[in-house]
Amino acid sequence: MLHRAFSVFVFDAEGSLLLQQRARRKYHSGGLWTNTCCGHPRPGETTVVAARRRLREEMGIACTLEEAGSFLYRAEVGGGLVEHELDHVLVGYSRDEPVPDPLEVAGWRRVQIPEVYREVTRVPARFTAWFTRAFEIALRAPAVIGRAGGAS
């Protein structure tokens, strides 16, 4: 069933993206690398409010988020599960050190944008099904282009 989702991308002033490795015990895509955090709004909750909530819950950080765009996707994610989502992409900036929830996050790292491109191109199976499309949208956000050295 088509449902709403969001993907958050948090950059720092040096242009690095905060990547998250999903906890291995997640119900799908466990152990894969992805954007800073993601999730689904609760009934009646706006996308931005839900994204800020999940960013605090998953990564232990808070920052202002801006909507960058959205896309539809449908992908088999293993175990007979299919994700069919309208994914809203949000971007923000923070230098805060993450304090991740170990039930949600196996690891994290900050990566420069060109290195993210290299990794996704060389080994796409290490990333979640939605990551590449959401990443492209995040890089087109005016704030990212002007501040973090996004796509040119």
Residues marked active site are found at: 38, 85
Phi, psi (rounded to 5 degrees) for 28: -155, 155
H or E stretch covering 145: helix 142-147
AA letter at 138: A
User: Tokens 């040096």 label which residue?
Assistant: 14
Between the CA of residue 145 and those of 22, 51, 110, what are the distances in Å?
27, 21, 18
| 57 Ramachandran zone, left/alpha/beta (phi>0; psi -120 to 50) | alpha
